[in-house]
Structure 1
Amino acid sequence: MRSYSTIYLSVLGAITFAPTATQAQDTTTDKSVERIEITGSRIKQTELEGRSPVQILDRDAIDRSGLSSIGDIIQNITASGSALNTKFNSSGNFGFPPDGGGVGAGATTVDLRHLGAKRVLVLVDGIRWVNESSASGVGGVVDLNTIPLAIVERIEVLEDGASSIYGSDAIAGVVNIITRRSAVGATVSTSFGQFSKGDGDTSTFELSFGGESDKHSYFMAASYNEQKSVAADTRAQSSLPVPGTGLAFGSSAIPGGRFIINDPNTGASLDLVPNAGITSPNYDPTLGDSCDRTDDFHCFTTADRFNYSSYNLLQTPNKRVSLYAQQRYEFTPDTNWYLRALYNQRSSVNQAAPEPMFIGTFSPSNYWMDNLTIAADNPYNPFGFDLVASGDDPNLILAGKRPIEGGARRFEQNVDTFYIASGIEGQLELAGNLYYWDVNAAYSTNRAKQDNFGSYNARRIATALGPLASCQADPACVPLNIFGVGSITTDMLGYIQPVVRDTSENKLSLYSANITGDIMELPAGALSFASGWEYRKYTGEYTPDALTVAGEYNGVESSPTSGSLNVNELFIELNVPLLADLPLAKQLDLSLASRYSDYSTFGSETTSKVGFRWLMQDELLFRGSWSEGFRAPNIGELFGSASGFDAVLSDPCSAPIPALAANCAALGVPASYQQPNPQISVVTGGNRELAPETSTSYNLGTVYSPEYASATAWSERLDIGISWYQHELKGAIQALDAQTQLNLCVQTLSDTFCNGIGRNQLGAIDQFNNVLTNIGSIETSGLDFDIGWLLPQTAFGQFNVRLRATLVEDYTVLDANGQRQPKTVGIEVNDTAIPEWSGNLALNWQHEAWQASWTMRYTSDLEESCGDAASFAVCRNNPSTGQNRLGSTTYHDAQVSWSTDAILSGMQLSFGVNNLFGKEPPICLSCSLNGYDPSTYDMPGSRYWYLRASFSI
């Protein structure tokens, strides 16, 4: 029989994006056998296969991925759901989410089981990491870009509920990043990669070194990572607002300006655009509402719409610099002191099209823009009469100007992460039993600032367009010309275009003490336990620019957020051996765990877990668990002040279907109303009355390692694992999906959905409140499949095959009124997807100095609603019902490596290509940007090659 330590090392060396499904072995109570702590239990144990399914991504698997971000690597596992990454060009496009966390621009997060990033707990060496801060809110999730890949020894991913072990947030699972502890000598690693189109360059440089003595060891690392941008207009799929529809879905805020007016002198209703090249147009009122015009205007058509996509980014630039140090000192043979410290600096950029100016109540956007007057004495007003946007009888229905003169909106983030942790850990023997203990303290902070270039001061726009006397009363004011392409001069921009600066910060202080060991010997083995105490304090604040707070920012409005909370926790975990050395029970253990949490914000919560581990025989292991979970509302959710975001919504009352016409009329919408702009300002905010989310999770699995496939001529080892999971979440903290709320309001006229949605006299939505609450439930279940086959060593080398696949059987979301929400299996909605099947198949080969790998990543097909694009041919599946099919997708990644000491000590050269065959992502018609879902697929035109070299000094 092989020892567990031997199994552990062999598995870590062979694994590729899959859990360790090792052959089951005899347990031992020999105290000389090293005990380890595997994520999912605080009890140190000799058994590698525990009661919960854990994937271990070791350093070899990380290197084979060709990726340079922890988040990107985890997002490739099959249990991963839709999560933020640097392919999301967030700022200026997605607005503020209702949870008060901000847009997370430049961050990369992790979602497990499609339950959302907020329901995944991220640990570093078993200790919580500080939440992200991207200067747009108080985030409630961890940005994995704050943790440099250079310091990672391995990543353990627990795919089971674990609140009783780790506390809040561990509903969907836990990601535990294990750092390198020591090294002897120095290692240098560098890499360069880019897409086959010659863009998106990524460069990395890592230097690590360390040393050991009898009592002291240390490890230090410095790293630099720079990812450059990829513009949306460099790929055909992302070059239009909606692929395959031309300019039909372009913006009505256009460079020359669009003006929907009623001429008070003639009564003519006009929808006019200045002709090309005209910045001081002449208006002829005698032409009435004719489109056969001889003045300097023409009637607005689809061809005039603005293609904002060309300004967007497919990949956002992201630069990270980090320093890390860890040292350990042995006070006595049984007591060690450790100290860890990290500094990580991230610079990132998001970009959006020039900020539109929507003036008038037909497309409400901002108080100043909705109520201004373009005065008759404004020197650039060609109409000769006041254009009044508000009041009882407005004659300016809409003015839509895209001031390209001011350039694109650029959102530049600088995020600093500081972390320091220290502790003492050791072991002691009492009454013949060995106990392991540790005492820890950690402090971490994430500070961010964001500079927004290319936005506008709405109050100053109103002054510069209004009566000339009002402008002249302000010495800085320059009258504004919005009529024609290139009409806005540098002096005009100087008055209306500020730099908007926002800041935010998250802090986490943590103290803990733990002990684990054997209590007593029972007939079937040792009764073992773990117990501990933890105290955490969270502090967060978001400070938007004073312009934003004053409501003068011509964009989303936001108010400051500030708050703190603390929690005291106690936990206990037991492992009870029930049977041993019986015909059908080589070993049967029962695990019990419970955690008490006392929060300063809502009170206390207790969660428990029961699990079993049944080693039927050496070849066959069964395991299962039932667990309670909870997630406490975070600072942004509790204390987030009212803020707005521009949601892209389709108004059902815009040229409504006959069945809805009466309801729309009852809501005060004129029969002729057509929505001019899909961007609707939605106001959200925190709720101090929120209760925790609660959950119940189930897991049942088996690992089969047949003896007939061990150490034979055709197989060195074969492991087959199957695991079933189910999560039931109640009281989910979220706002009702805005589009769903609007649809249900029109369909039902119920106050439940219509309260908070207001319309003006033109029928346009001018109020949309969408605050957080505890709504409904989420239920999901599925199966994980894992097969690992290590072939024997031959003269041609050794092959290793691993298959990991996940089947999502069910995903159901109900709101508080029992209404089913659109997110479910096989559906693409709101830039997220839940594929029924996802899988990774990897073939690895090693022979002397050479290694090679081939990996296939599979996503099954999806469906989406085409919405307003249903009449276009690009809606491929069933245009008559407005459904579009996103076909199944398989990506192929390949890598080859060569090692030698002949040139430099420990030198390794690697060359790889991800998406070897240049597979394009399926077109997504409902996605907000770039015509595809960046949380599910590689970006268009994304054959990516890279070179990496490492050596020792």
Structure 2
Amino acid sequence: MLSLPGVAHAQEAPPAAEPAEPADDAVEAITVTGTRISGFTAPTPLTTLRSEDIELKAASTVADLLDDVPQLRVNQNIGKSSEPIGASNADLRGLGSQRTLVLIDGRRVAFTDPAGTIDTNIIPVSLISSAEIVTGGASAAYGSDAVAGVVNFVLDKNLQGLKLDVSYGQTIYDDHRRPSVSAAYGTKLLDDRLQLTFAGDYLRNSGQTSQAERPWGDNQTALLTNPAYTPTNGQPRLIISDNARFTQMTAGGVITRSNGNPNATGPSLAQRLGFAAGSGVQFDANGNPIPFTYGTNIGGTFMTGGDGAQVTDGGNIMPQIERITGYGGLRFDISDSVTFFTDFLYSRVDTLSDLTPNPDNGGITIQSDNAYLATSMRNAMAAAGITSFTMGRMNYEDGYSLFDSRTESRRFTFGVEGRFGNGWTWDVSGQISRNDYEQLSHNNRINARWFLGLDSVINPATNQPICRALLNNPNPTAAQDPYGDIRSCVPIDPFGAGAVSDAALAYYRGTSFTRASQHQDVFAANLSGSPFSTWAGEVKIAVGAEYRREKTTLTSDADSAARRWRSVNSQPFSGEFDVKEGYAEIVVPLAKDAPFADNLDVNGAIRYTDYELSGGVTTWKVGVNYSPIPDVRFRATLSRDIRAPNNWELFSRGNQVINAIVDPRTNISRQTVQITSGNPALEPEKADTFTGGVVFQPGFLPGFSASIDYYRIKINGAIATVAPQNIVNFCEEGRTEFCAGVIRDPVSDIITQVNVTPFNADSLKTSGVDVELQYRFDLGGGRLNLRGLANYVAEISTTSNGVTNDYVGLAGISPPPQGLPEWRVNIDANYSIGGFKLGASYRYVDGGKFDTRFNTRVLDIADNTVAGRSYVDLSAAYKLTSAVEIYGRVENLFNTYPPVTPNGITQPTIANSQFFDRRGTFFVVGGRLRL
């Protein structure tokens, strides 16, 4: 059996029996990933990262550590208001983070947010001894959610002495800074019967909330609809354009094009004001109408050039993050064969991100008697014979929308473990988790008040502006005015930059909030050992039972509950369920040192899970290891895995965001309300997983190893949420099951809302190959470690109602499931000699397509290709003494730019793929102390 150091290896878990015997025969905690049986080489591929990898990468977060594992996609939300800001979620195979089970010391981690995901930032990096990643289904061993695999963080619970690590990092642009401190201390007391362990981490990531600070992000790039497109003229439907400006928004307001020429046979409003033909009308700082120049490629949101405003420069690269983590653990040997253990983990993660000020993309209606309307504008309207017009405005007076989030996690575990007889082990444990999540949305807007204030007239009694509603109804009843909107109404001047008064801001602007608590209680019992032996060795078994209760409670402010804010509007809900499980696992050796087999064993597991809401489900696994000779081992596993819907997917009552939707009927993009909600009719999804491969460790070449593994995962009844744009597209393509989610205005036929609800799709499939080569040997008085890792994705696709969409190579817009590069390759070389350590890494991320569905039907873009990227990292460390080490690291040495793949929102993220580095060259320096 081979245990490879280095960033990762697609090999087996190291046997739990191999570590040195603990002092005084104390019971050693056993943590095994991929199997519940110790001292056994599991046939399921495993990737392992060790504490030295944390040091080599100068990793200050779990996301830093996992980022280079090709099978993993570490998602981080950089500013989308509908998701936890700054959370880093581990996502194996791109199947969604909900299908990756996260463990600490083999025990399930509770969700850290109401959406049912886990922010890996809560885990103390200072105490991680290894991270073990099962790259295949593991539900039979660990239960629900292990469809794509398992990420298990093993903490060093037997630490002796002090570890201190202090580092500072910043970008080449000197605009993103990251100080970090981590410490851990462990000691033994009471004749080594008592082990105490403490750890703490502090990190502050200053963030970067302006993509214009990067050369690739300062060209005001956006995704535009092409007004010249028709399905038959060969023109692209979408265009990626620099110098993108808003068609219908300026700081002072601009009249929409549809209102600029209300009479087809008469002069436009611009012409009646004396402006040149083809001009629009906008308002200057004094509220007077002036010409508005249109650019080209004029669409419903963006155009190329012209006088419109733009907020693309402020798009986020990364949010601000401050993280504090504390850990305390105790292990006490009650006797030579029984140990009591307990630990407590606390983490607080604060994040801050911003989005565009509240925009109005042509949605403001102005009457001709508006109190603030310029006389020249009134005269032009009278001459045109119109009584109102619509206008758009970027409301900079509101300030940028700030999303201030806090995740607070508390995890308490306790239990007793022991051994008896000839190698039998047992444990009984409990785990109580209480995680709280809060998001404050500052500078949000109550829409009802905004529009009431905009509709202002002159009060004939005072000759001063007054809200029309208040003038018409000066004493509204509570039934007429339940929120006091009319009674407190402040007239709003929308004409000219900075025209909105402080009194008006106080009237309609405020802070909405979402608060959620996630409760998880887990109680488990496990037993393992060898009841008898065969001719080839010991038959080993493991059995166990587990009870788990999950509860989520979400609350929000009263205005959110009434859907009065412009964005977010979280809806309160509460949901809970319990799960009862029992499992059994067995390993049967069939041959050992035989003429036809150096080793042959079979591994099987079965688990029955009873969900309170959806009933019983059985999962199972069958695996085999076969070594015809000591140098070669073939392995294969077939499993049935499950994932049950979480409380968010079942019970959430709706979350509101506003994003751009392109209407296929008109090819016009408009900012559209999108409502996501749960579905209590969801059923558990079932996955069939196969992995098979070979491990080659030639005895004639010590230090060399190679492995190649094929994987195939098919999820039946996959819980899917179709992206809003896809819902609209699918409806127009005749897939009528999606049309109920598209709400159109009955008069104008404009899409006013898209409803997004999870459902059990037909299937979700992925397949591919994992490869690793590693060679360690002595060179020039030192030690050289060479390693190559690669992941090839052959398929990642969804099928619903007979229609299949494949997302291999999707590098731009990423609807669920997340698209994956066809190839990811990491090559590392690390050399150590004396007190020096030197390292170099090469990473390649394949390109692909902006959207894999483009150029295959009516969806189209001028250039659908996205080129891949290569990155080089360097690291060095030197031991000043046996206790003190200094180190440095450079990531993305050549400052490679990410591909430009903008998404379709008002403030586009120009480099929209998570796989490519947006930060730029990053320097880290630091020091370590070991006592």
TM range (shorter): 0.7 to 0.9
CA distance in structure 2 between the partners assigned to 1:934 and 1:356 by the alignment = 25
Once the two structures are superposed, residues 705-745 of structure 1 have per-residue CA deviations (whole angstroms, 9 ceiling, x without a partner) of 111102xxxxxx11111111100111111223322232232
Of 836-845 and 490-499, the range deviating more from structure 2:
490-499
Is the Cα–Cα contact under 8 Å of residues 809 and 849 in structure 2 kept in the other structure?
A: no
CA distance in structure 2 between the partners assigned to 1:27 and 1:345 by the alignment = 36
Once the two structures are superposed, residues 786-845 of structure 1 have per-residue CA deviations (whole angstroms, 9 ceiling, x without a partner) of 1110112x4431101011111112222211x11122523455432753111111110010
- Tell me the equivalent position of 2:334: 331
Aligned CA distance change for structure 1 residues 492 and 37 (closer, same or farther; 3 Å): closer
What does residue range 261-280 of structure 1 map to in structure 2 within 5 Å?
A: 262=259, 275=282, 277-280=284-287
CA distance in structure 2 between the partners assigned to 1:692 and 1:386 by the alignment = 63
Aligned CA distance change for structure 1 residues 249 and 74 (closer, same or farther; 3 Å): farther
- Tell me the equivalent position of 2:126: 150
- Tell me the equivalent position of 1:829: 813
CA distance in structure 1 between the partners assigned to 2:821 and 2:387 by the alignment = 50
CA distance in structure 2 between the partners assigned to 1:111 and 1:631 by the alignment = 14
Offset of 1:177 from its aligned partner? Answer: 0.4
CA distance in structure 2 between the partners assigned to 1:394 and 1:583 by the alignment = 96
- Tell me the equivalent position of 1:653: 665
CA distance in structure 2 between the partners assigned to 1:601 and 1:704 by the alignment = 46
Q: TM-score, normalised by structure 1?
A: 0.84
Match of 1:112 among 92, 98, 104: 92
Once the two structures are superposed, residues 526-562 of structure 1 have per-residue CA deviations (whole angstroms, 9 ceiling, x without a partner) of 1110110111111112223221222221224432121
- Tell me the equivalent position of 2:451: 462
Q: Give yes or no for the alignment of 1:203 onto 2:210.
A: no
Secondary structure of 1:723's counterpart equals: strand
Aligned CA distance change for structure 1 residues 482 and 613 (closer, same or farther; 3 Å): same
Aligned CA distance change for structure 1 residues 683 and 221 (closer, same or farther; 3 Å): same
Secondary structure of 2:165's counterpart equals: strand
- Tell me the equivalent position of 2:787: 802
CA distance in structure 2 between the partners assigned to 1:606 and 1:408 by the alignment = 50
- Tell me the equivalent position of 1:661: none
What does residue range 504-583 of structure 1 map to in structure 2 within 5 Å?
A: 504-583=516-595
- Tell me the equivalent position of 2:288: 281
Q: Give yes or no for the alignment of 1:886 onto 2:893.
A: no
Aligned CA distance change for structure 1 residues 381 and 631 (closer, same or farther; 3 Å): farther
Is the Cα–Cα contact under 8 Å of residues 18 and 803 in structure 1 kept in the other structure?
A: no
- Tell me the equivalent position of 1:75: 67
Q: Give yes or no for the alignment of 1:348 onto 2:340.
A: no
Offset of 1:380 from its aligned partner? Answer: 4.4
Offset of 1:687 from its aligned partner? Answer: 0.7
Offset of 1:499 from its aligned partner? Answer: 1.6
- Tell me the equivalent position of 1:811: 796
- Tell me the equivalent position of 1:184: 160
Offset of 1:113 from its aligned partner? Answer: 1.1
Is the Cα–Cα contact under 8 Å of residues 518 and 553 in structure 2 kept in the other structure?
A: yes
Is the Cα–Cα contact under 8 Å of residues 293 and 306 in structure 2 kept in the other structure?
A: no
Secondary structure of 1:410's counterpart equals: strand
CA distance in structure 2 between the partners assigned to 1:944 and 1:374 by the alignment = 54
- Tell me the equivalent position of 1:919: 896
Aligned CA distance change for structure 1 residues 824 and 590 (closer, same or farther; 3 Å): same
Is the Cα–Cα contact under 8 Å of residues 23 and 619 in structure 1 kept in the other structure?
A: no
- Tell me the equivalent position of 1:217: 195
Offset of 1:405 from its aligned partner? Answer: 1.4
Q: CA RMSD in A?
A: 3.2
What code does the residue aligned with 2:349 have?
A: R
Aligned CA distance change for structure 1 residues 484 and 249 (closer, same or farther; 3 Å): closer
Secondary structure of 2:717's counterpart equals: strand
Is the Cα–Cα contact under 8 Å of residues 21 and 703 in structure 1 kept in the other structure?
A: no
Offset of 1:268 from its aligned partner? Answer: 6.5
Offset of 1:948 from its aligned partner? Answer: 1.5
What code does the residue aligned with 1:445 have?
A: R
Once the two structures are superposed, residues 605-628 of structure 1 have per-residue CA deviations (whole angstroms, 9 ceiling, x without a partner) of 001110011122221111110000
Is the Cα–Cα contact under 8 Å of residues 849 and 865 in structure 2 kept in the other structure?
A: yes
Offset of 1:866 from its aligned partner? Answer: 11
Offset of 1:376 from its aligned partner? Answer: 2.0
- Tell me the equivalent position of 2:6: 15
CA distance in structure 1 between the partners assigned to 2:29 and 2:127 by the alignment = 23
Offset of 1:384 from its aligned partner? Answer: 4.3
Match of 1:759 among 725, 739, 744: 744
Q: Give yes or no for the alignment of 1:689 onto 2:681.
A: yes
Secondary structure of 2:72's counterpart equals: coil
CA distance in structure 1 between the partners assigned to 2:29 and 2:452 by the alignment = 72
CA distance in structure 2 between the partners assigned to 1:949 and 1:54 by the alignment = 31
Structure 2, unaligned stretches of length 5 or more?
224-239, 271-278, 295-301, 457-465, 475-485
CA distance in structure 2 between the partners assigned to 1:585 and 1:307 by the alignment = 69
- Tell me the equivalent position of 1:603: 615
What code does the residue aligned with 2:781 have?
A: F
What code does the residue aligned with 1:223 have?
A: D
Match of 1:84 among 75, 79, 89: 75
CA distance in structure 2 between the partners assigned to 1:441 and 1:72 by the alignment = 30
Secondary structure of 1:104's counterpart equals: coil
Decide which structure has greater strand share: 2
Kindly, what percent of the aligned residue pairs are identical?
24
- Tell me the equivalent position of 2:918: 939
Count, aligned residues: 855
Is the Cα–Cα contact under 8 Å of residues 124 and 178 in structure 1 kept in the other structure?
A: yes
- Tell me the equivalent position of 1:660: none
CA distance in structure 2 between the partners assigned to 1:582 and 1:786 by the alignment = 29
Once the two structures are superposed, residues 654-710 of structure 1 have per-residue CA deviations (whole angstroms, 9 ceiling, x without a partner) of 25xxxxxxxxxxxxxxxxxxx2x4322222211111011111000111111111102
Is the Cα–Cα contact under 8 Å of residues 813 and 824 in structure 1 kept in the other structure?
A: no
Is the Cα–Cα contact under 8 Å of residues 607 and 620 in structure 2 kept in the other structure?
A: yes
Aligned CA distance change for structure 1 residues 838 and 158 (closer, same or farther; 3 Å): same
CA distance in structure 2 between the partners assigned to 1:705 and 1:637 by the alignment = 45
CA distance in structure 2 between the partners assigned to 1:867 and 1:352 by the alignment = 29
- Tell me the equivalent position of 2:212: 233
CA distance in structure 1 between the partners assigned to 2:420 and 2:203 by the alignment = 43
Offset of 1:303 from its aligned partner? Answer: 1.6
What does residue range 119-518 of structure 1 map to in structure 2 within 5 Å?
A: 119-133=99-113, 138-213=114-189, 214-230=192-208, 231-239=210-218, 240-242=220-222, 245-248=241-244, 250=246, 252-260=248-256, 262=259, 275=282, 277-281=284-288, 302-358=305-361, 360=363, 374=367, 376-380=369-373, 383-384=377-378, 398-429=390-421, 433-467=422-456, 468=466, 469-471=468-470, 473=474, 474=486, 476-518=488-530
CA distance in structure 1 between the partners assigned to 2:340 and 2:166 by the alignment = 32
Offset of 1:282 from its aligned partner? Answer: 5.4
CA distance in structure 1 between the partners assigned to 2:594 and 2:555 by the alignment = 65
CA distance in structure 2 between the partners assigned to 1:777 and 1:443 by the alignment = 35
Q: Give yes or no for the alignment of 1:908 onto 2:869.
A: no
Is the Cα–Cα contact under 8 Å of residues 796 and 819 in structure 2 kept in the other structure?
A: no
Aligned CA distance change for structure 1 residues 238 and 159 (closer, same or farther; 3 Å): same
Is the Cα–Cα contact under 8 Å of residues 893 and 915 in structure 1 kept in the other structure?
A: yes
CA distance in structure 2 between the partners assigned to 1:39 and 1:891 by the alignment = 31
Structure 1, unaligned stretches of length 5 or more?
97-102, 292-298, 361-368, 388-392, 656-674, 711-716, 871-878
Once the two structures are superposed, residues 726-776 of structure 1 have per-residue CA deviations (whole angstroms, 9 ceiling, x without a partner) of 00111111223322232232233x532323323222231123223211112
- Tell me the equivalent position of 2:764: 778
Aligned CA distance change for structure 1 residues 177 and 598 (closer, same or farther; 3 Å): same
